[in-house]
Amino acid sequence: MIGIDIQQKTLNFAKHNAFNRGVFDNVHLIQGDFAQMNLHRINPDVIFLNPEIVENANKENFSIFSDITPDLTYALLKSYNLCKNIILCLPKYAKIQEIATLFSTIFKRTDRFIILI
Amino acid sequence: MNQKPSKPLISTSNLPTPLDFKPGFHYGNKKNLISKNLDDTRRISFQLREELISTKKPENKSIFSVLKNVFCCHQDRNQRNSPKTTTQKPYMKPNVQQQLPAKGSQASITVSSGPNQKSLEATLIENFTQTSTATNNQMAQALNNKGESSKENSSKITKPKLLENDLFGFPVEALFILRKDVGICNLLGKIKFVDFFINDSCANLSKKSLSNPCSNLHFFNLATFEKDHDFASFKKESLARKVSMNNFKELGKNKENQDGNWTENLKTKRNTVVDQQILLNFHEQNMILDYDQWRNVTPEQCAKHTAKRVRNRGVVLDAFCGIGGNLIYVKNF
């Protein structure tokens, strides 16, 4: 089990929380930006993605592309290249049309990307 | 460690149905309530109520099982402005207004929080500043240090008018409290279950009028409640108790980990928090949180559900682990 996050503070919290549960064996916490890391050696089997939501986001005018940091399309592309099992958590007030556009853009790009490789 | 589902603390058969209360309460009449133009502060409670009712099993139909977390009774707007409400005692102590910080400091909060939620948060901030007596000066000092630049814009904002009695945007007269239950109102610290009754006739209620009252259920008038508990000190004790449970002091020695006012930010930005706060039972889990992670942690039920699917699946990578909400459950299963 590997956890990545940018902030060292939250990793300290995670360490403490895992310690309370007695879960700390075989858990590795890494500080770093997910977008800039080379993770090809790890060969993960499953990837979780639950990126942050901006503080002042309205539920009515919520959009995946603007109100979520970091950029979701890039994160999903990178994780798709690492492994094919991805669990993506989105808030329930996310719009379905935007999700459709997200996956459509990604699969187009991945087709091109695979051809190039 | 498989966590058992939390048992219902109350046997539902003994509890009074809403009809056992006196008429005048607005129980469960959705049509009457939702058809009105509700404020944003009230609207959330109705959404929660609908969700809770829809998700629960038909076996548990009584109110206290369905609405374990939130239940709010709202007053008619016509009644709200009526002279009957003048008999209600103010929720805060009378000396509080002298202790309140200057108006500019309050309004600076709204600017820092963002333009979208001005009207909504301005209401909440005023309410909380009325209730929290001792923490006002700390909040004001902290926010003045941050938001000196934003004071210029503060004069432009017009405050919404509220009654003095308003705590959540509507006047409050009495509280029902369940001590052991886990619920939304972590604002109040130890008080995890709150019912607000807004009718004048509830002053006549007592334990005797309820048929078979539960041991966990307590009835308070606010007048007696303020005498028994200083409300501000009551909140401080509960916060300190949580902190001691989490051994937060050891982490708090480093100044990096010590984010001063995240508990107070929770109070001001409560509405953004409410949706997730149902799904999380951090009180049982003894987890540490920051405000930014409080919003973004995956809820508990989702984390359990995904962890069951992922078990025995080799290497699992959590790209944005945060506090490790997913991380814990994956190892548990």
Do residue A41 and residue A2 come from a single domain?
no
Do residue A74 and residue A26 come from a single domain?
no
Domains identified in chain A, total number: 2
Kindly give the pairing relationship between strand B174-178 and strand A68-69: unpaired
On whether any CB of chain A is under 8 Å from the CB of B284, the answer is: no
Question: For chain B, what percent of residues have pLDDT higher than 90?
Answer: 1
Most trustworthy range by pLDDT among B225-234, B275-284, B303-312: B303-312
Do residue A24 and residue A44 come from a single domain?
no
Helix axes B136-146, B103-113, angle to 10 degrees: 60
- Give the pLDDT band (50/70/90) at residue A87: confident
Question: Which position has the higher pLDDT, B319 or B153?
Answer: B319
Kindly give the pairing relationship between strand A46-49 and strand B316-318: parallel
Do residue A72 and residue A100 come from a single domain?
yes
- Please report the pLDDT score of residue B280 as a whole number: 45
Mind listing the pLDDT tens digit for each residue in B85-144?
333 333 433 333 333 334 333 333 222 233 333 343 444 444 433 433 333 444 444 444
- Please report the pLDDT score of residue B333 as a whole number: 65
Rounded Cα–Cα distance for residues B106 and B104 (Å): 5
- Please report the pLDDT score of residue B291 as a whole number: 61
Cβ B131 vs Cβ B91: under 8 Å: yes
Distance from CA of A3 to the nearest CA of B (A): 5
Q: Give the domain range for residue A108.
A: 35-116
- Give the pLDDT band (50/70/90) at residue B327: confident
Beta bridge partners of B221: B174
Does the distance separating the beta carbons of B316 and A1 come in below 8 Å? yes
Do residue A44 and residue A2 come from a single domain?
no
The tokens describing B20, both together, are 């056992």
- Please report the pLDDT score of residue A9 as a whole number: 83
Q: What are phi and psi of B99, to 5 degrees?
A: -85, -10
Say whether pLDDT at B166 is over 80: no
Q: Spell out the residues 6+ positions from residue B191 whose beta carbon is closer than 8 angstroms to its own.
A: B175, B177, B179, B185
Select from A22, A27, A52 the Cβ nearest to the Cβ of B320: A52
On whether any CB of chain A is under 8 Å from the CB of B113, the answer is: yes
Average pLDDT over residues B60-85: 34
Q: SS3 string of B11-66?
A: CCCCCCCHHHCCECECCCCHHHHHCCCCCHHHHHHHHHHHHHHHHCCCCCCCHHHH
Question: Which position has the higher pLDDT, B19 or B313?
Answer: B313
Query: If you write DSSP's letter for every residue of B311-323 in order, what string do you get?
Result: TT-S-EEETT-TT
Select from A3, A51, A56 the Cβ nearest to the Cβ of B327: A3
CA-based angle B123:B290:B167, to the nearest 5?
20
The tokens describing A23, both together, are 């879960």
Average pLDDT over residues B177-182: 27
Do residue A1 and residue A51 come from a single domain?
no
- Please report the pLDDT score of residue A10 as a whole number: 85
Most trustworthy range by pLDDT among A75-79, B150-154, B156-160, B225-229: A75-79
Do residue A42 and residue A26 come from a single domain?
no
Does the distance separating the beta carbons of B251 and A29 come in below 8 Å? no
Do residue A71 and residue A99 come from a single domain?
yes
First to last CA, chain B: 8
Do residue A68 and residue A12 come from a single domain?
no
Does the distance separating the beta carbons of B314 and A46 come in below 8 Å? yes
Q: SS3 string of B190-234?
A: CCCCEEEECCHHHHHCCCCCCCCCCCCEEEEEHHHHHHHCCHHHH
The tokens describing B247, both together, are 């051994």
- Please report the pLDDT score of residue A60 as a whole number: 82
Say whether pLDDT at A71 is over 50: yes
- Return residues 38-97 of A near B (CB < 8 Å): 39, 42-53, 55-56, 58, 75, 79, 82, 85, 87, 89
Rounded Cα–Cα distance for residues A95 and A97 (Å): 6
Average pLDDT, chain B: 43
On whether any CB of chain B is under 8 Å from the CB of A3, the answer is: yes
Q: What Rg value do the Cα atoms of chain A yield, rounded?
A: 16
Name the 3-class secondary structure at B81.
coil
Average pLDDT, chain A: 80
CA-based angle B195:B198:B200, to the nearest 5?
130
Does the distance separating the beta carbons of B289 and A89 come in below 8 Å? no
Do residue A22 and residue A54 come from a single domain?
no
Q: What are phi and psi of B197, to 5 degrees?
A: -110, 130
- Give the pLDDT band (50/70/90) at residue B330: confident
How buried is residue A83: exposed, middle or buried, by Cβ count under 10 Å (0-12/13-18/19+)?
middle
| Four-CA torsion B6, B11, B12, B15, nearest 10 degrees | -130
Rounded Cα–Cα distance for residues A9 and B288 (Å): 11
ipTM (interface pTM): 0.86
Do residue A56 and residue A23 come from a single domain?
no
Average pLDDT over residues B12-24: 37
- Give the pLDDT band (50/70/90) at residue B288: low
Do residue A8 and residue A56 come from a single domain?
no
Q: Output the CA–CA distances (angstroms, integers) from residue A64 to A92, A95, B306, in the order listed.
A: 11, 8, 21
Say whether pLDDT at B277 is over 50: no
- Give the pLDDT band (50/70/90) at residue A4: very high
